Amino acid sequence: MVMTGRIYVPSAVEEGGAVVAMGCFSTQETAMNVLRSFLKKSHQVPLERASVASWEIDVVGDDAVTMLSEFECRTCPVCHRTTFWLDVERFKATCYGSACGAWIAESDIEAGVIDCGWPPTQFSEQVETIDDAMRSLRRIAARAESAGLSALDSTFQFEP
């Protein structure tokens, strides 16, 4: 039986350089779902980056692999955990922590506009720069904290 086609491989890299392989999947959607589930726990393991690659079966060399998505890990401006992942290719960032869900993305409607938000509080805003978006998310978190709340409180539980 000759097998041809493509497989999708999600993986992550720990701070020390060790690669965490998560398997091989027949669809990109499944590979992304596996990676997202793993990223929800990224505050438990010190990770630097993650990716989903597409591998062509029975192809030798560099032509066999295509990097589909690459992510870098950052500290979330709202919940302060290392669950905030930036998509390196197209600017999007999402906190995969289940108690947060903060996000930043380039607007699909207006060029040069950055959208950001924190779903548990229904906060969203449009700003001009990535730095402004990070400041905006820090401000909403500070308001919650000044009210005696935390992004990790059960009051703000959020499941994307």
Domain stops at, among 73, 92, 123 = 73
Mean pLDDT of the 54-82 span: 90
Q: Do 158 and 80 share a structural domain? A: yes
Q: Do 109 and 66 share a structural domain? A: no
Query: Whose structure tokens read 């890990």?
Result: 73
Backbone phi, psi, residue 118, to 5°? -135, 95
- Confidence category of residue 109, pLDDT binned at 50, 70, 90: confident
Q: Residue 88 and residue 156: Cα distance in Å, rounded?
A: 28
pLDDT score at 99: 75
Domain stops at, among 73, 106, 123 = 73
At 111, the amino acid letter reads: A
Q: Do 80 and 47 share a structural domain? A: no
State percent of the chain over pLDDT 70.
90
- Confidence category of residue 3, pLDDT binned at 50, 70, 90: low
Q: Residue 157 and residue 155: Cα distance in Å, rounded?
A: 6
Helix, strand or coil, per DSSP, at residue 15? coil
Q: What is the DSSP letter of 27?
A: S
pLDDT score at 159: 47
Domain stops at, among 57, 73, 89 = 73
Q: Do 157 and 99 share a structural domain? A: yes
Q: Do 157 and 111 share a structural domain? A: yes
Domain that holds residue 43: 1-73
Pairing verdict, β 6-14 and 19-21: antiparallel
pTM as predicted: 0.76
